[in-house]
């Protein structure tokens, strides 16, 4: 219709209304019928004839129920008459039959026609054949249900994320994993883990096929570690909002698929732990030898320094004293012995820096000390952060250091008659760092000794039957090598709390 068409006057509309309305009804592509209040047909248009096969002459005066099919429940007709009898319109779907007895689904609207006094005089029915539409709707619904059934039955974690990384669709495996993670969003953990191992990360605004493919990630929890092989695939979806009818925008989604590989990794982990145990046993032997030789040098150097002071005093007081000559000979022999001992101190195993997951290191340490903890009756409370950023470190040096901390905690609680034997190990990340907290329920360390325990060759353990050990000086040295910090505080449970902080970005 032209926007410039002249608007007709009211009397002109009244004059042409009957003819215009008749033409509109006759030419309408919707089946239209008019009945009296008893549903006797008074008029049908050509579209009605095309839809049903009945002409006006064949249905004139007949009850409209000639179109009804027994497949429509009586309750539908009861609801229909309950509304239109009150002068209210009714709309719904009925199963009708044509003149040739073929059935079709009709989308029907019945509107009462009332007179000036508000009494219903006629009914106007408008219906269209929606059989094909219903079939297509059913096929779409069945296809949707089939896809949902396949997705829910798939033995992999599936989630669809919008541009804000909010989950808009997931499957049963995803919900199950979410429950195992105490309702933490698995998608967030997976993406954080992918980003932690990828400096550049990925952006939902990109349109490449894969955001990432078959990336293996590790999720830690109190129940243990789980491994997943993850892929992220970009998916485009057309917007269906009304405003986008003429210009449909394509929304970008990320399809996240994660296949659990924990069972496959289990055998590899057993082999790795066995090799790690053998390697750490060798490192322990070497460290024990280093400690013994260092302690021997430390013990010898004390008297040597005293002898050097005495010799210097004698030389100042008496020249050519035979005692001085004898002391000089002994002193030189002692220095030679110290030099010999220093020369045979074994070096630490050569190890390059690499990206290290602190959760993995602590899990290894707990696995390696399980037998000892069981024998000592120690209960372990492992509380890891599910995903941890990597630190640039020497992995074996960290394992040895954390194992020493765990061993010290076990020793502190492994006292005859000591009942509370709880070990709590917590990992968490902060701004540019990771923290590992080891707490025991032992007797603790007095405040005046919390700095002294970091001195070389100092130990709070009794020397009777045991070597004094090097205390926490070795642990402090390893932490310092990694630009970190180690602190000792009282634990909430009354024992000792050791906190190790390591930077995720090493100083250069």
Q: Are residues 445 and 380 in the same domain?
A: yes
Distances (CA, A) of 260 to 367, 421, 473: 22, 35, 41
Structural domain contains residue 321: yes
Structural domain contains residue 122: yes
Q: Are residues 159 and 124 in the same domain?
A: no
105 Cβ contact partners less than 8 Å away, ≥ 6 residues apart: 93, 94, 95, 96, 129, 130, 131, 134
Q: Residue 409 pLDDT > 50, yes or no?
A: yes
Q: Are residues 128 and 55 in the same domain?
A: yes
Is the Cα torsion angle 414, 418, 422, 424 positive or negative in sign? negative
Structural domain contains residue 7: no
Q: Are residues 332 and 358 in the same domain?
A: no
Query: If pLDDT is split at 50, 70 and 90, which confidence band does 501 have?
Result: very high
Model pLDDT, residue 464: 38
Query: If pLDDT is split at 50, 70 and 90, which confidence band does 416 have?
Result: confident
Domain boundary among 87, 104, 134: 134
Q: Are residues 360 and 500 in the same domain?
A: yes
Q: Residue 460 pLDDT > 60, yes or no?
A: no
**Does the reported pTM lie above 0.75?**
no
* Mean pLDDT of the 413-429 span: 87
* Average of per-residue pLDDT values in the chain: 81
Q: Which of 201-215, 260-274, 425-439, 466-480 has the highest mean pLDDT?
A: 425-439
Residue of 505, 290, 274, 300 lying closest to 389 (CA atoms): 505
Name the percent of the chain lying above pLDDT 70: 80
Segment 275-333, tens digit of pLDDT: 877 777 776 676 667 667 776 777 777 777 777 777 677 666 665 666 667 777 777 77
Model pLDDT, residue 466: 35
Q: Are residues 335 and 373 in the same domain?
A: no
Domain boundary among 301, 330, 350: 350
Q: Are residues 254 and 333 in the same domain?
A: no
Total tally of structural domains belonging to the chain: 4
* Mean pLDDT of the 418-438 span: 89
DSSP structural state of residue 464: T
Structural domain contains residue 149: no
- Between 108-112, 170-174, 350-354, the lowest mean confidence (pLDDT) is in 350-354
Model pLDDT, residue 45: 92
The alpha helices in 101-221, defined as continuous H runs, are: 131-153, 172-180, 186-196
Structural domain contains residue 390: yes
Structural domain contains residue 57: yes
Domain boundary among 134, 167, 189: 134
Model pLDDT, residue 278: 76
Q: Are residues 126 and 165 in the same domain?
A: no
Residue of 188, 196, 225 lying closest to 392 (CA atoms): 196
Structural domain contains residue 143: no
- CATH code assigned at 164: 3.30.450.20
Structural domain contains residue 8: no
- Residues of the domain holding 219: 154-240+249-260
Q: Residue 1 pLDDT > 80, yes or no?
A: no
Model pLDDT, residue 22: 83
Q: Are residues 334 and 361 in the same domain?
A: no
Segment 17-71, tens digit of pLDDT: 677 888 888 888 899 999 999 999 999 999 999 999 999 999 999 998 899 888 8
The two tokens of residue 156 are 């992999």
Model pLDDT, residue 239: 62
Q: Strand, helix or coil at 467?
A: coil
Q: Are the beta carbons of 420 and 441 closer than 8 angstroms? A: yes
Mapping DSSP onto H, E and C, the string for 374-399 reads HHHCCEEEEECCCCCCCEEECHHHHH
14 Cβ contact partners less than 8 Å away, ≥ 6 residues apart: none
Q: Residue 468 pLDDT > 90, yes or no?
A: no
Model pLDDT, residue 291: 67
Q: Are residues 181 and 208 in the same domain?
A: yes
Model pLDDT, residue 111: 94
Q: Are residues 108 and 226 in the same domain?
A: no
Model pLDDT, residue 328: 76
Name the percent of the chain lying above pLDDT 90: 23
Q: Are residues 231 and 305 in the same domain?
A: no
Model pLDDT, residue 471: 55
Number of other residues whose CB lies within 10 A of the CB of residue 433? 17
* Mean pLDDT of the 233-254 span: 69
H-helix or E-strand spanning residue 110? strand 103-114
């Amino acid at each position: 219709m032209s926007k410039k068409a002249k608007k007709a006057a009211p009397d002109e509309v009244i004059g042409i209304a009957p003819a215009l309305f008749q033409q509109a009804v006759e030419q309408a592509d919707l089946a239209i019928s008019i009945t009296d209040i008893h549903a006797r047909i008074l008029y049908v248009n050509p579209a009605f004839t095309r839809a049903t096969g009945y002409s006006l002459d064949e249905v004139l005066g007949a009850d409209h129920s000639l179109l009804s099919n027994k497949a429509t429940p009586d309750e539908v007709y009861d609801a229909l008459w309950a509304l239109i009898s009150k002068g209210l319109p009714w709309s719904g779907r009925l199963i009708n039959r044509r003149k040739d007895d073929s059935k079709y689904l009709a989308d029907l609207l019945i509107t009462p026609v009332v007179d000036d006094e508000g009494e219903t005089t006629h009914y106007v029915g408008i219906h269209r054949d929606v059989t094909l539409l219903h079939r297509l709707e059913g096929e779409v619904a069945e296809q949707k249900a089939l896809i949902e059934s396949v997705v829910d039955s798939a033995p992999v974690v599936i989630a669809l994320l919008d541009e804000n990384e909010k989950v808009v669709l997931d499957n049963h495996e995803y919900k199950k994993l979410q429950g195992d993670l105490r309702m933490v969003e698995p998608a967030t953990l997976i993406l954080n883990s992918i980003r932690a191992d990828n400096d550049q990360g990925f952006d939902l605004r990109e349109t490449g096929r894969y955001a990432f493919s078959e990336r293996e990630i590790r999720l830690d929890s109190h129940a243990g570690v789980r491994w997943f092989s993850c892929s992220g695939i970009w998916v485009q979806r057309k917007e269906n909002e009304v405003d986008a009818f003429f210009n449909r925008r394509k929304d970008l989604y990320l399809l996240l698929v994660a296949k659990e590989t924990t069972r496959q990794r289990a055998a590899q982990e057993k082999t790795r732990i066995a090799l790690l145990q053998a390697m750490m046993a060798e490192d322990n032997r070497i460290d024990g030898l280093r400690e013994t030789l260092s302690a021997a040098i430390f013990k010898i150097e004390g008297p040597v320094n005293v002898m050097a002071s005495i010799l210097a005093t004698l030389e100042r007081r008496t020249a050519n004293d035979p005692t001085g000559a004898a002391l000089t000979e002994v002193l030189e022999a002692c220095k030679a012995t110290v030099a010999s001992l220093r020369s045979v101190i074994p070096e630490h195993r050569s190890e390059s820096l690499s990206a290290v997951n602190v959760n993995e290191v602590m899990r290894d340490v707990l696995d390696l000390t399980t037998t000892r903890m069981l024998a000592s009756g120690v209960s372990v409370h492992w509380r890891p952060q599910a995903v941890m950023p990597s630190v640039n470190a020497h992995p074996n040096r960290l394992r040895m250091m954390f194992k020493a901390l765990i061993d010290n905690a076990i020793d502190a609680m492994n006292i005859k008659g000591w009942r509370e034997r709880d070990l709590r190990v917590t990992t968490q990340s902060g701004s540019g760092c990771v923290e590992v907290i080891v707490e025991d329920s032992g007797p603790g360390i007095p405040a005046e000794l919390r700095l002294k325990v970091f001195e070389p060759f100092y130990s709070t353990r009794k020397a009777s039957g045991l070597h004094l050990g090097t205390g926490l000086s070795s642990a402090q040295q390893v932490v310092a090598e990694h630009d970190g910090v180690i602190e000792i505080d009282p634990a909430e449970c009354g024992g000792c709390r050791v906190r190790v902080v390591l930077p995720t970005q090493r100083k250069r």
